[in-house]
Amino acid sequence: MKRKIKRIYLLAAFISLVVMGCTKEGPVGPAGQDGQDGLDATVYYSEWFSPTEWSGEPGDWYFEAIAPDLTEDVVEGGVILAYVWLVGDLYESNSVRPLPAYAVGANWSFLIYQYGSIEFTCDMIGIPATTGNYFRFIAIPGTILALKSTSSANISEQELKNMQYQEVCKLFNIPE
């Protein structure tokens, strides 16, 4: 019983840290040719974080992070990008992979099953590490300005999802 209560307190502490670190607005970018096309969209992004604990069972692991910026408008009308940096990723050592991805012998992905949170998943047989694996999301709202910012650079939603992490950060002035 004491162990269960301790886990609840640890989970509450983790959620509090994630909530405090999730709301960041990117700086206003330069104005475009007609003064309307600049990268002036409000883009939300989380800090890099590691799970404190994985839930689930072999082949179906997950952890949830509270993300208040993932509102209905952002999720339904915008673009959500998620990234992972994995310890032991020999193929792309010291690099960030966009999700979904296959690495370190498993499929890694994310989903938003309710507004205000994001769930990261892994299909490893053994439980994934809680240290050394880092996760992050970037939420690009579907507002007129955000759509203009991607279309002025001639980037479709799919191209945005296929961009390297560093390119997305540069495009929206997000610190890596």
Taking only the tens place, the pLDDT of each residue in 133-144 is: 999 999 988 774
User: Is residue 79 in a domain?
Assistant: yes
What is the SS3 assignment for 124?
coil
- The SS3 of residue 106 is strand
Band of residue 37 on the pLDDT scale cut at 50, 70, 90: very low
Strand ranges, E, within the chain = 44-45, 55-57, 60-66, 79-85, 97-98, 101-103, 106-111, 117-122, 134-140
Is residue 23 assigned to a domain?
yes
| 153 occurs within a structural domain | yes
Sheet harboring 97-98: ordered strands across? 44-45, 134-140, 79-85, 97-98
pTM score above 0.75: no
pLDDT of residue 154: 55
Q: Is position 176 within any domain?
A: no
Task: Please check whether residue 128 is in contact with residue 122, taking contact to mean a CB–CB distance below 8 angstroms.
Answer: yes
- In a domain, residue 132? The reply is yes
Q: Which domain holds residue 122?
A: 2-171
> Total structural domains in the chain?
1
Q: Is residue 65 part of a domain?
A: yes
Q: Nearest Cα to 118, choosing from 18, 16, 13, 35?
A: 18
Is residue 67 in a domain? yes
SS3 state at 41: coil
What are 56-113's pLDDT values in tens digits? 999 999 999 999 999 999 999 889 999 999 887 876 656 888 999 998 889 999 999 9
